[in-house]
Amino acid sequence: MAIILRLDRVMADRKMSLNELSELVGVSNVNLSKLKTGKVSAVRFSTLNAICKALHCQPGDILEFIDDE
């Protein structure tokens, strides 16, 4: 079971830079970069909420489940 983060794809679709998203969400560039590259083991709902609000998207646009079987 794997959850894949698609933040980079949504940001590209919206033509939004990491710096712009960081300012809108109130999360550091470093932490957003880790989210963007999938190098995190957890995401706070408040952060996910702020990202979705800034990017005008749904959580399912950012998170994808892939079954390992």
Read off the pLDDT of residues 3-48 as tens digits, 9 standing for 90 and up. 899 999 999 999 999 999 999 999 999 999 999 988 988 999 999 9
Containing H/E element for 65? strand 63-66
Beta strands in the chain (DSSP E): 2-5, 63-66
Query: Which pTM value belongs to this model?
Result: 0.89
Q: Which domains does the chain have, with CATH numbers?
A: 2-58 (1.10.260.40)
Residue 3's beta-bridge partner residues?
65
Residue with tokens 């880790």: 34
pLDDT score of 57 more than 90: yes
pLDDT at residue number 21? 97
pLDDT at residue number 68? 81
pLDDT at residue number 1? 56
Mean pLDDT for 52-65 is: 96
